[in-house]
Amino acid sequence: MVSFIVKLIKKEEVAEDTMAFYFEKPSSFEFTAGQYITVTLLNPLETDAEGSSRFFSLITAPCENYLGVATRMRDTAFKRVLKNLPITSKMQITGPFGSFFLHKDTSKPAVFLIGGIGITPIFSIIKNTTRNKTPHKLFLFYSNKKPNSAPFLKELQELEKENSNFKLIATMTSPTQDWQGETGYINKEMIQKYVKDLGSPIYYMSGSPAMVKAMRKLLGKTGVIDSNIKFEEFSGY
């Protein structure tokens, strides 16, 4: 797999305890929305047993002229160094990796069952389908504790306005008083409220192992076959 040395061009907070980092995009770097890369720090000021590399899903679409990743900011050496890197700092990226991307059969809807930072590959996929005006029907069930802990919530709301084939169902498990959307955890009744034929879509889930396990169990009880389920677990993010 090919590696590149790239410069950090931007960093920003995108939700509570969550940051996005944007890098130069090498001219020869190509990827499919939903894939991930390895980011390696060069000569970090500190390190620990977890090392100086991490896997990150790309949050940018292939049509964008830069690369971006996002992560919850745990107190580890890697993330302390990453957070404090000056703009124009160099790092190494390797990839792309993975097959967690949108199916080609546009007659089958895509249903995304997503928790928290698991939104990262899905954000890339939804931006890409919106920019390319592909006819897939998309349903995103997006679970977070509260609105300010939901990465890219406002951007997804804007994409919903732009893409008539995309329906965002954001739900909060500890909602604020002014929250107008769904509340509670994603369940069968919530899915059935928006998706009438549960057997026809391809289902995608990404997030913590516990979240993915819960969603796979939920779909199993509804009779969804394994070949219609794609998942990606984020461990230790």
pLDDT in tens, the chain (237 residues): 799 999 999 999 999 999 999 999 999 999 999 999 999 999 998 998 888 999 999 999 999 999 999 999 988 999 999 999 999 999 999 999 999 999 999 999 999 999 999 999 999 999 999 999 999 999 999 999 999 999 999 999 999 999 999 999 999 999 988 999 999 999 999 999 999 899 999 999 998 888 899 999 999 888 899 999 999 887 655
Check residue 237 and give its pLDDT. 54
One of 3.40.50.620, 2.40.30.10, 3.30.420.40, 1.10.10.10 is the CATH number of 3-97, namely 2.40.30.10
**Structure tokens belonging to residue 129:** 């389908």
Q: Is 152 exposed, middle or buried, given 0-12, 13-18 or 19+ CB atoms closer than 10 A? A: buried
- Amino acid type, 138: L
**Structure tokens belonging to residue 152:** 């890219």
- Amino acid type, 26: P
From the list 205, 234, 194, the residue with the least C-alpha distance to 70 is 234
Check residue 69 and give its pLDDT. 98
Rounded Cα distance between 196 and 178, Å, is 29
Rounded Cα distance between 149 and 166, Å, is 22
Domain ranges of the chain: 3-97, 110-233
Beta strand segments in the chain, E: 3-15, 18-24, 36-41, 53-57, 66-72, 90-97, 110-115, 138-144, 166-172, 182-183, 202-207, 229-233
110-233: CATH topology is Rossmann fold (3.40.50)
Check residue 158 and give its pLDDT. 97
Rounded Cα distance between 58 and 100, Å, is 11
